[in-house]
Chains A and B, each alone.
Chain A
Amino acid sequence: SQTIHQWPATLVQPVGSPLSLECTVEGTSNPNLYWYRQAAGRGLQLLFYSVGIGQISSEVPQNLSASRPQDRQFILSSKKLLLSDSGFYLCAWRQAGSNIQYFGAGTRLSVL
């Protein structure tokens, strides 16, 4: 069966520090991968998605970037965090041909 792993679960970082969140999917190949953010009191906002290695589409211009160095690995990064980057970050995957996305457990990021 397919599983998605996302870590860390919680992260507290100072303003101006770098960020790296990792997501991996097991039990499938060539999945579509997604990064979402849920800010306090808001719905989930799509940040990036990828349909293959090295292919990244950005939905919202911001202080973050994404990379897909391997088929089942998706990384969210920042060179210098801002206070506004705080939120709950979720990785998701779906198989090509399916409309259903499956989510990881999320990372709670607090930028202080």
Chain B
Amino acid sequence: DQQVKQNSPSLSVQEGRISILNCDYTNSMFDYFLWYKKYPAEGPTFLISISSIKDKNEDGRFTVFLNKSAKHLSLHIVPSQPGDSAVYFCAASWGADGLTFGKGTHLIIQP
């Protein structure tokens, strides 16, 4: 039973345009959501997060939106840059337990 789902294995976006990565979850107990960026053979790097009491959090070019009623969150990157090419993982947490991750979306920024 996959509690966090990223339904797009890959996404190709032109440099300078907006990248939108989507994530759905099923467990209503999740109260905190995070996005991580990962390069091959490296550990994930924390990017941005959002608490369940908010619906938007912004940090520079990155914005995360949370729709609790739809159990859906999205990560917007604007403008997209070549260095943004990586695998992006959506993760959710509840309490002191570890994070529950989606399978990731491979973002490719085209020049």
Q: Which residues of A contact B (CB under 8 A)?
A: 6, 32, 34, 36, 41-46, 49, 51, 57, 59, 88, 90, 92, 96, 99-106, 108
Contact = CB atoms under 8 A, between A and B. Distances in A.
Given A44-B89, A99-B32, A105 B42 contact: yes
Identify which of A90, A103, A104, A108 gathers the most chain B CB atoms within 10 Å of its CB. Answer: A103
Interface stretch (B61-69, B78-86, B101-109): B101-109
B79 to A, nearest CB: 26
B46 A101 contact: yes
A34 B99 CA distance: 9
B41 interface: yes
Contacts of A49: 96-98
A45 B3 CA distance: 12
Contacts, number: 62
B41 A101 contact: no
Contacts of B104: 43
15 contacts: A36-B101, A43-B4, A43-B6, A44-B99, A46-B98, A46-B99, A46-B100, A49-B97, A49-B98, A99-B93, A100-B49, A101-B98, A102-B46, A103-B44, A106-B42
Nearest to B48: A100
A90 B44 contact: yes
Given A103-B43, A103-B45, A43 B89 contact: yes
B45 A59 contact: no
A43 B43 contact: no
B73 interface: no
A30 to B, nearest CB: 12
Contacts of A96: 96
